[in-house]
A and B are shown apart, each in its own frame.
Chain A
Amino acid sequence: MSEEAIRVDGVSYAYGDVKAVDDISFSVAQGEVLGFLGPNGAGKSTTIKLLTGQMRPQTGDIAILGMNVAKERDAIQGRIGVCFEEKNLYLNLSAKENLHFFARLFGIRDFDPTPLLQRVGLADRADDRVKGYSKGMQQRLMVARCLLNNPDILFLDEPTDGLDPVSSQAIRRVIEEEAERGAAILLTTHDMDEADKLSDRVAFINDGTIAALDTPENLKLAHGQRSVRVRTRENGEIREQVVPLDASDTGDQLKAVVGAEGLLTIHTEEATLEAVFITLTGRGLQE
């Protein structure tokens, strides 16, 4: 991790009386993946709109690559890539034509879409109209589109939501490659596993505020509960028992369980990000 790619200081935004984003502050370094987790309506999309210059913050400051987003929007937008949750592609155009059009908007000369399309596995359908694509193919094209200007920052809004495993895997691979290249990535997702695996840090956003921001490991250690799940057979019936690892009598409980007859399986269980989120906010991510 090196220089800051995104810096957000005390930013707020309200739709009328409803505060969508309430005094949030965070930063993302170049080459870092920040997972932005929260249920629907938590303020994730509004935050992305503010960071990408689609809306202006009512209070606070946002610096993208050291530039003020409210004042240097044009310069910033040439250096970012945004992948939206909705599939906002031109369906009557082919994948190549979609990419060529956006390349022109970015002022990219002699643009060749083939390498990008190969990267997301769409090279063989490059000339087909997008309206004939599956949801996964459209999403992969969305990802290709947000990469065409070789951005310093990527904003990915639910990039794998509802996709088949092959498409999801292809997109995750691209995210890892982009982070290795040095791009800062802000990733919003409902998928806890995805956030856990891909994110260097995660921010929990709830009711417009950031409830926690740290590495997944630290969050789980700080707020999660480790346990051992034991299955035994007693009188012909299978019984399951969870033994917390951080309790004062953990040792005694484990001795009793392991020493008992009919032990079938024993597994350690780590806390999940979702459990941590519920612990911190009192609500689930799927709400």
Chain B
Amino acid sequence: MSAQVSRAAIVWAIVRKDLREYSRERFFVVITVISILVYGIAFWLMPSSVDESFAVGIHQTGMDDIFAAAMEDQGVGIELVQFETVAALEAALGMGDAEPEEPLAIGLAFPNDFLQRVAAGQQTTVRVYVDANVPVELQRAMESFVREIAYALSGNPLPVADPNREVIVLGEDRVGAQVPFREKIRPLFAFMALVIETFALSSLVATEIQARTVTAVLVSPTRVSDFLAAKGILGTGMAFAQAVLLLLIIGSFANQPLILLCAVLLGAVLVTGCGLIAGAAGKDFIETLFYGMAFMIPLMIPAIAVLFPGSAAGWVQVLPSYGLVQAVVQASAYNAGWLDVLPHLGTALGWCGIAFAVGLVILKRRVETL
């Protein structure tokens, strides 16, 4: 006859058993280790800063002082690279036979008699070389630059009164301190780590149901609620631990570590809820995988949208993971505080509650109708 056993002891026994089983699922162990390593390495290989300047190749003769003065007026962002001949400039632009290591995207070739012809008020032609990938705005800017040089050389002022300019930057002015790509991709990596664990959990749950081991567990003093609690704790714990490990590897806790931990914990709860749904709904491995993907792809959209500012449509903000991603980005990249991220975390918490509750209800129904 068995002794009286506490609910906590039962839950802990199931969690221990699941951890042991998980450690013997070579596929998930390998995938987990590889993914953490790959994400970590990929993160550190990405550029850590944003190069806000661009090089312009130039061929001119006798106008060094004018160009120096013009550059001072233009301010930061343009680096002029001088070429002795047009052929050398064209070679640097990738128009020659040999492919340069780092081809220039923009070039200006002033004719050798440019100075004389402009001074005499005669027509002349300046070639502006523009790579097909250069935005049209930059192309126009180069054309204006040439026009300004001409006016400066001729001694005539621009035929308009130069207005005073007041630039108002909406939000934080990031000129000279742009957020690099790898900072933006941080939430996506964290989400990927969570997703991997979702598949592991859904697979464990699906196996319990398909092999009917859950039936054997439930004719012991174990209740359905014990079983569900164990799966929830295991899934959340594993997803949280691995996402935190990845964030540690990619050095994410320099800014607002508590906010990041909170966001990752909520993310772990969210994906665990999805994992429970996928594991309970799937009748075999493929079906479980399908349901897992069906949940995970929409959840990753907000993390992907961060990489392309301005591209996210309004509906992205409705997705359950949007708040989490915003909290991670704002805390890690912009050092935002609790007050800034609280609305995002609050929304995410609501979604977590919904996902986890739905996952538990579906799993409970499935277990009870076996």
Contact = CB atoms under 8 A, between A and B. Distances in A.
Contacts of B5: 78, 104-107
Contact of B221 (A77, A84, A109): A77
A51 to B, nearest CB: 10
Given A92-B25, A107-B9, A149-B1, A102 B219 contact: no
Contact of A74 (B14, B20, B223): B223
B212 interface: yes
Contact of B213 (A52, A88, A151, A152): A88
Contacts of A133: none
Taking chain A's interface residues, is the majority helix, strand, or loop, or is none over half, making it mixed? loop
Contact of B2 (A91, A92, A149): A149
B215 interface: yes
A92 to B, nearest CB: 4
- CB-based closest 5 A-B pairs: A107-B5, A106-B2, A104-B13, A105-B220, A88-B212
A84 B1 contact: no
Interface of B: 1-6, 9-10, 13-14, 16-17, 20-21, 24-25, 211-213, 215-223
A80 interface: yes
B3 A77 contact: no
A93 B223 CA distance: 22
Nearest to A97: B20
B24 A78 contact: no
Contacts of A145: 216
A88 B215 contact: yes
Contacts of B222: 105
B212 A86 contact: yes
A57 interface: no
A137 interface: no
Contacts of A151: 1
Q: What interface size band does chain A fall in?
A: 20 to 34
Given A74-B223, A78-B221, A106-B5, A54 B215 contact: yes
Nearest to B212: A88
B219 A53 contact: yes
B219 A82 contact: yes
A89 interface: yes
Contacts of A135: none
A108 interface: yes
A90 interface: yes
B17 A84 contact: no
Interface of A: 52-54, 74, 77-80, 82, 84, 86, 88-93, 97, 101-102, 104-109, 129, 145, 149-152
A152 to B, nearest CB: 7
A198 B223 CA distance: 33
B17 A88 contact: no
Given A107-B3, A152-B1, A54 B212 contact: no
A279 to B, nearest CB: 35
B12 to A, nearest CB: 8
B220 A106 contact: yes
Contacts of B10: 104-105
A195 B3 CA distance: 33
A104 B230 CA distance: 14
Central interface residue in A79, A84, A91, A107, by most chain B CB within 10 Å: A107
Nearest to A104: B13
B212 to A, nearest CB: 4
B2 to A, nearest CB: 4
Given A77-B221, A92-B25, A109 B20 contact: no
Given A74-B223, A102-B216, A107-B221, A91 B211 contact: yes
A93 B20 contact: yes
Given A93-B21, A104-B13, A107-B6, 7 more contacts: A77-B221, A78-B2, A78-B221, A79-B2, A82-B216, A82-B219, A107-B3
Contacts of B17: 90, 93, 97, 101
20 contacts: A53-B219, A77-B221, A78-B1, A80-B219, A82-B216, A88-B213, A90-B17, A92-B21, A93-B20, A97-B17, A101-B16, A104-B10, A104-B13, A105-B10, A105-B221, A106-B3, A106-B5, A106-B221, A107-B9, A149-B220
A92 B24 contact: yes
B9 A104 contact: yes
Given A90-B213, A97-B20, A107 B2 contact: yes
Contacts of A80: 219
Contacts of A54: 215, 218-219
Nearest to A101: B17
Contacts of A108: 2-3
